[in-house]
Amino acid sequence: MLELEILGSNATAPTREGPASSYLLRTETGVVLVDAGPGSLLAYCARHDLADLRGIVVTHMHADHSLDLMAWAYRWTFPEVLPRVPLFFPEGERERLKAFDAVFGIPTLPTMNSPIAQSWDLREMPRDGTTVHTVDGVTFRSYAAHHSVPSAALRFEAPGGRTVAFSSDTGYCEPVVEAARDADLFVCEATYLEADEQALHGHGHLTARLAGELAAEADARHLVLTHFASPALWDEGRLHAADGYSGKISVAVPGTVL
């Protein structure tokens, strides 16, 4: 089994529709959190037990994908210390994680001196598309997305063959196409309806139309649009994506299970 549950899908920050970027992969025995945008812990606790968490994978260290890591770490170390689980993050970003602890560590509480380091088994992901990682019986690979910080597109594969891919934040690039190749579900950012070259190729984002074209090139079976600049763009974004992609299209509405 490998199901996708949307915790949050907003770019930048939570809205009344739900948290920023955060997703769950349901496995046979638990759940894996992909991205920890602000609001993710609250949404998780409303529907799941903390004991179900088997690991965390962060695609990149922008706040709308990682800010709640400290909230998770605080909860993992207080009022009781919970069992450590792996935290995967892009190779080269360890110093950013250390900075979290430098700012928010609590020297007077022994279990919270360095909440990130004390909560998680930290594992760097080479974005080479070949290194295989395993979490809760599911394997995954990390690919080099095109963004302003090291950003990892992800490809998860369950033992039965089901595949779920994530674009992360990215411009249009070949490694993301490969991450999504023949995926059963492809969760792809669609930040804009229209954008200039700086936003798309300088900073590194996609329009909904480009997300559709990328999914078509990858032959993904089901495109799930996410990371819109505003939830008001959901319906029109779906139409734009359909211009270049003829498969099934969904919007990553928080609470949805696919």
Tens of pLDDT, residue by residue over 97-154, are 999 999 999 999 999 999 999 999 999 999 999 999 999 999 999 999 999 999 999 9
Residue 254 amino acid letter = P
**Which two structure tokens, joined as six digits, stand for 231?**
């939830």
Q: Give the mean pLDDT of the chain.
A: 97
Q: How confident is the model at residue 1 (pLDDT cuts 50, 70, 90)?
A: confident
Question: How many whole angstroms separate alpha carbon 76 and alpha carbon 94?
Answer: 19
Give me the pLDDT at residue 160, please.
Answer: 85
CA 188/CA 186 separation, integer angstroms = 6
Report helix, strand or coil for 177: helix
Average pLDDT (21-32) is 96
pLDDT in tens, 179-219: 999 999 999 999 999 999 999 999 999 999 999 999 999 99
- The pTM for the full model equals 0.97
Mean pLDDT of 49-72: 98
Measured CA to CA, the distance from residue 146 to residue 142 in angstroms comes to 13
The CA distance from 131 to 109, in Å, is 37
Contact 157, 139 (CB under 8 A): yes
Instruction: Give the three-class secondary structure for 226.
Output: strand
SS3 string, 146-181, reads ECCCCCEEEEEECCCCCEEEECCCCECCHHHHHHCC
